[in-house]
Amino acid sequence: MTWEIGLLLGIIFACLILFSFEWVPADVTALGLVVTLILTGLLKADAAFAGFGSDTVITILGLLIMTAALLRTGVMDAAGTFILRHTGDDPMRLLFGIMLTAAGLSAF
């Protein structure tokens, strides 16, 4: 085992501990992992940030922003109340109601 492998395993183990016990917020741990890998030379900077420019990442970030806005404005609570009011306690009716709502919203 080379020193690079040992260093990488140590960094991964440290991040695993930080993710598990949440002593540091998960986003700070993840960014710290990337920065540490770049500073130690285990990962090149262009390879570390190459994925941020892809269409998939930008689409997912857009969806996360839109979801946060829907949660803050209360649209999600209103949609949940509407579905529960019309489906009742039956799990099959609830599943069907969620599917119909998702199909209707995804049409736009």
| pTM (two decimals) | 0.57
| Average of per-residue pLDDT values in the chain | 91
Q: Within the chain, where are the H helices? A: 3-21, 26-39, 45-48, 55-73, 75-87, 91-106
What pLDDT is recorded for position 72?
96
Dihedral over alpha carbons 54, 60, 63, 69 (to 10 degrees): -100
pLDDT of 6 > 90? The answer is: yes
CB 1 within 8 A of CB 23: no
**Mean predicted confidence (pLDDT) in 85-94:** 89
